[in-house]
Chain A
Amino acid sequence: MAHVANATHNEDYLHHGKGLWSWMTTLDHKRIGLMYFLSILVFFFIGGIYALLIRTELIAPGSTIMGPDQYNKVMTYHGSIMVFMVIIPGIPAFLGNFLLPIMLGAKDVAFPRLNLASYYVFMLGAFISVTSLFTTGVDTGWTFYTPYSLQTKSGVILMVAGAFTMGMSSILTGLNFIVTVHRLRAPGMTMTRMPLMVWALYSTAILQVLATPVLGITLLLLIFERLFGVGIFDSTLGGDPVLFQHFFWFYSHPAVYIMILPAMGVISELIATFSRKTIFGYTAIAYSSLAIAVLSFFVWGHHLFVSGQSEWAGILFSFITMLVGVPTAIKMFNWVATMYRGSVKLDAPMLFAVGFMFLFLIGGLTGIMLATIALDVHLHDTYFVVAHFHYVMVGGTLMAFMGGIYYWFPKMFGKMVNEFPAKLSWFFIFLGFNVTFFPQFILGSLGMPRRYFDYLPEFTALNRISTVGSYLIATGFLIALGTIIHGLIAGRKATANPWGGKTLEWTIASPPIHDNFNKIPVITAGPYEYR
């Protein structure tokens, strides 16, 4: 009899419990991870359509397919959806949820119910934001700067309330991860034996818990100010509009590291596995994540160099921002050093890691240029900044995300995707990305401001190239989608460890059983023991 009970328990998590209801009420971190995956895919698709609308409008000066009011809304929804509903939750909530407990040798996160609640809070927030579309729409840009956001259409309240709600979800997930890392490590899993992905998720979680409340309060104040005119940001009531920018970036600069740190975790895993080599400078990589997390709280003013903030403050912020460059550079060097005397295989996930190295490097170096206070005076709020943050958020985070999906896909679904179309998707995304965004560095240097519905005729050629590039990226993502769907339906069966990884998730079945481990493992060595 005991046998039978055991058998159901050993069923893989995808079949443990059937029907939609068993998914919607699941407490299994792996299923919750996949629910995030599906939701984020949908949001990414919507955000992507908006991106194509923006680029198509900008294919020529003047009005091409829409008017200025529509354009401003399209640009706002593109930015808000991509930031709050794709890039921020992407890696932590999906890959992190799926992997964190397994990588620690645990059966689940510390608070499974809270985990499910976070998902629903996130979806509620997303829903509230999106309903603003059906009212007046929002046209402030994703940064909601006052006093414009106090005067424009009322949809702002819904959008901001949605972002506030999603922030709550982010805090809850962060809390859950911190406690999980501290309390649920398997016997022998010391902090210094944790995979670097876990270190990255842990640093991210700290940022989520400490920074997000500030955004929450700021957004609430914005709503209060709009509804009741309390006079915090509105200068006609004695408020200070620039204060909003300080509050906003006090969250949103750490948030850019909420976006990139998990990606750096993914890259560490990919490079170790596909070089079949122990990671170089484990301690340096782990601690540089923490250093970035701490420093990122003190650099927000680099978004305000020309806002009227005091000049001395600007110089100080420029200085501290330079310091953030150091741990970032350390990581890059360590990854390259890991490949030295390795056994490097350019499977699709590794191609994305290599693409990440190239694009994130450009993003980081242009970040240093922007941190150079004199240069930022000219470059601020031009297309140079647009190019910079796409190089880090798309070239960095999204590339890592794609690599991570291809890498862990066999583990999640027990099936392999076809290599060739996966590589082809990389090719189009990588090429298209550079064609789209590299010209924007030049546009910005030439002085083309961002958030422009229309532009001077001399900017036409570069804008046109950029638009063509965006169609190439879209092609790449469609190929990727096809590859994944094909893998789900008709993929070959995956073995437990198709890539030769050394972290714990590769020691268990693909797909994992409901409880992850039949027996909690006892850890006796570090995570990358290729000897």
Chain B
Amino acid sequence: MRSFLPPQASTFAGQWDLLYDSLLLVSFLGGAILIVAMLYFIVKYRRRTDTDKTAYISHNYYLEFLWTFIPLLVFLGVFAWGAYVYYLQRKVPENAIEIGVTGWQWRWDFQYKSGKKTTNELVVPINTPVKLVMTSGDVIHSLFIPSFRTKQDAVPGMYTMLWFEANQLGTFQIFCTEFCGLQHSNMLAKLKVLPQNEFNEWLSLSDSGQGKAGDSPAQRGSALYQSKACSACHSLDGKTVIGPSFKEIFGKTELLSDGSSALVDENYIRESILNPNAKVVKGFTPGQMPPFQGQLTDDEITDLIEFIKTVK
């Protein structure tokens, strides 16, 4: 472990560090060539008399070609390597467990599928891919876990995601890295990595001080599905009523009436609730569904999405 990077605690942290170290090394070597040459010339060719004559050298195509193409190749190599590690950072494994995250001035709320809610404490099992589905309740925040070498902005009115697989037990720091006002530097949270069995135990415990764990988001979403009368048009069993059925809809790619297609993810559902006519599935008539803009809170929309994910 080195003193200028935080400890490695996620599966891609090692890859990240290798890239960082290699770039430092290449930068150091490349930079040293330039600086040493410069210092050497400064000393070797220092001015001796005020009438010194100098060589008249205007260019050298061979040299210029070399110092255009070598940096170009190096930079492109760096780019490709960076894109590869980025792919590791962004490609969420299929079996990842999901946790909801909402940033608020100035705290982090975490929401588990079981209904458990925590604030400023994210608890995850070791060696298990975890996907955070993030949004914000007010301004933009950014969730940064240095030991995992990852971060992602949490933006109001939109879902973003981040994933990791912890491979070290322990407690790690979470920072907010998007300036969000007065207590920005105090918007800290802890990330606890537990062995699977301890995690399960922790999850089943009701939150101390909060009494019994509440309904899960999906349960609350199910209630909204009834009370807001989504059920009037969207079936759960695959039958088409007025709108598309919710059965197995999440993760499906819908063909739209304008000929394009769209993946049904969190942002798609959010948009379909708030502004149903933005994307209309092929075979359905626009204008049938009322826009729910202003009628559902962001939390309620999240609950509905969680519910829709469970309709199998």
Contacts and interface: CB of A to CB of B under 8 A. Distances in A.
A530 B56 contact: yes
Interface in B1-57: 3-6, 16, 19-20, 23-24, 27, 30-31, 34-35, 37-38, 41-42, 45-48, 50, 52-57
Contacts of A120: none
Interface in B132-191: 138-140, 142, 144, 146-147, 149-153, 155-158, 160, 173, 175-186
B50 to A, nearest CB: 8
A380 B157 CA distance: 22
A319 B83 CA distance: 9
B57 A378 contact: no
Contacts of B178: 145, 381
Contacts of B62: none
Interface in A295-329: 306-308, 311, 314-315, 318-319, 322-323, 325-326, 329
Nearest to B54: A277
Among A323, A330, A336, A450, the most chain B Cβ lie within 10 Å of the Cβ of A336
A235 B156 contact: yes
A343 B151 contact: no
Given A240-B157, A325-B71, A377-B89, A372 B56 contact: no
A133 interface: no
A66 interface: no
B184 A372 contact: no
Contacts of B175: 447, 449
A346 B38 CA distance: 12
A519 to B, nearest CB: 28
Contacts of A375: 16, 19-20, 23, 82, 85
B153 A306 contact: yes
Nearest to B267: A308
A455 B185 contact: yes
Interface in B272-298: 274-275, 293
A369 B153 contact: no
Interface in A228-248: 235-236, 238-242
Contacts of B85: 374-375
A345 B139 contact: no
Interface in A68-112: 68-69, 72
Contact of B177 (A276, A280, A449): A449
A380 B149 CA distance: 11
B179 A148 contact: yes
Interface residues of A, number: 87
Contacts of B293: 238
B179 A145 contact: yes
Interface stretch (B72-80, B107-115, B234-242, B251-259): B72-80
B23 A343 contact: no
Among A311, A318, A373, the most chain B Cβ lie within 10 Å of the Cβ of A373
Contact of B46 (A278, A315, A344, A451): A344
Interface stretch (A16-24, A281-289, A413-421): A281-289
B229 interface: no
A2 interface: no
Contact of B19 (A145, A332, A333, A374): A374
A341 B46 CA distance: 9
A387 B75 CA distance: 21
Contact of B138 (A151, A307, A340): A151
A139 B139 CA distance: 14
B181 A336 contact: no
B58 interface: yes
Nearest to B42: A344
B211 to A, nearest CB: 32
Contacts of A343: 45-48, 52-54
B23 A453 contact: no
A340 B214 CA distance: 75
B212 interface: no
A170 B147 CA distance: 43
Given A377-B151, A380-B151, A278 B58 contact: yes
A372 B81 contact: yes
A456 interface: yes
A454 B186 contact: yes
Contacts of A329: 67, 71
A342 interface: yes
A454 B185 contact: yes
Contacts of B88: 374
A528 to B, nearest CB: 9
A341 B186 CA distance: 57
A336 B158 contact: no
Contact of A281 (B52, B59, B147): B59
7 contacts: A69-B182, A277-B56, A373-B83, A374-B82, A381-B144, A447-B147, A454-B185
Interface of A: 68-69, 72, 139-141, 145, 147-148, 151-152, 235-236, 238-242, 275-278, 280-284, 306-308, 311, 314-315, 318-319, 322-323, 325-326, 329-330, 332-333, 336-337, 339-346, 354, 357-358, 361-362, 365-366, 368-369, 371-375, 377-378, 380-382, 442, 445-447, 449-456, 500, 530-531
The list of the 7 closest CB pairs from A to B, nearest first, reads A235-B157, A447-B146, A372-B82, A374-B85, A343-B52, A452-B185, A339-B41
